[in-house]
Amino acid sequence: MSNLPVHHSSDARGTDRPSSADHLTMAPDRPDDGRHRLALDAVAGLSGPVPLYDVADVVAARESGTPVSGERRYQVAMGLHHATLPDLDDAGLLSYDWTWRTVQRLDWSETRDGTVTPRAVTGPSD
């Protein structure tokens, strides 16, 4: 059962989702399940866009304690695609491209005027 707040809004895909403000109070310290934390950990050391199934491999292996393949890999990938990664994208904790099914971690930078903005991490020099 999810611990997500009950306030919802529709996202660009027309699905009913908790609003971004709700996600910011939920993540990263209080994810609705361990998969949010595992997904964030999986992309933490990566740069550039990473395919969904690469993230799913890491998350599935960490959930089960052993490498997985086949049906379990697909199930985890679909859970990430339809819920976890859009949640984390909405919260501004990573960037998920729904169409291309790629994940990119974000680096938060403070500008001279004191505002904090995310930017995609594209390579080791970032």
Cite the beta strand spans of the chain per DSSP E. Answer: 8-10, 16-18, 50-51, 94-97, 102-110, 116-120
Residue 4 lies in a domain: no
Contact 91, 20 (CB under 8 A): yes
Residue 27 lies in a domain: yes
d(Cα 109, Cα 121) in Å, to the nearest integer? 11
* pTM metric for this prediction: 0.65
| Tens digits of residue pLDDT in 66-108 | 989 899 999 999 999 999 999 999 988 899 999 999 999 887 6
| pLDDT score at 75 | 96
In the structure encoding, which two tokens stand for residue 108, read together? Answer: 């938060």
Q: Which residue has the higher pLDDT, 119 or 27?
A: 119
Task: Give the domain range for residue 95.
Answer: 10-120
* Number of separate domains in the chain: 1
